[in-house]
Amino acid sequence: DTEVTQTPKHLVMGMTNKKSLKCEQHMGHRAMYWYKQKAKKPPELMFVYSYEKLSINESVPSRFSPECPNSSLLNLHLHALQPEDSALYLCASSPRQEGEYYGYTFGSGTRLTVV
């Protein structure tokens, strides 16, 4: 299995809803990431998890809450979002890499619309 699987592919939620995005990989990767991509913009890093511990939070608002319950799963819990949070949310994973970067595996993303 060489994929990162994200569910759901599309999500529409109201500003008072609570929802979760899920990401799963079975490649034995110990680093997992959340990126946010607004329309016609590049992906921007939100969170980095290494060995199931949060190592980087790029000043993301607390209405986004990441969770890494085990080495294969990464969740992003959403609560009280705003319409401007509508975007493509990309999950990625990577093997342990030191000295040289040689790649991530990105999922296909969850297209989130906040109404």
Partner 1 sequence: GQQLNQSPQSMFIQEGEDVSMNCTSSSIFNTWLWYKQEPGEGPVLLIALYKAGELTSNGRLTAQFGITRKDSFLNISASIPSDVGIYFCARALYSGAGSYQLTFGKGTKLSVIP
The footprint of partner 1 (CB under 8 A) covers 4, 30-31, 33, 35, 41-45, 48, 50-51, 53, 55-56, 90, 92, 94-98, 100-104, 106-109
Q: How far is the CB of 92 from partner 1 (least distance, A)?
A: 7
Dist CA 75 CA 24 (whole Å): 9
Q: How far is the CB of 95 from partner 1 (least distance, A)?
A: 8
Picking from 101, 103, 74, the residue whose alpha carbon sits closest to that of residue 89 is 74
**For residue 61, is the peptide bond before it cis, meaning its omega torsion is within 30 degrees of 0?**
no
Q: How far is the CB of 102 from partner 1 (least distance, A)?
A: 6
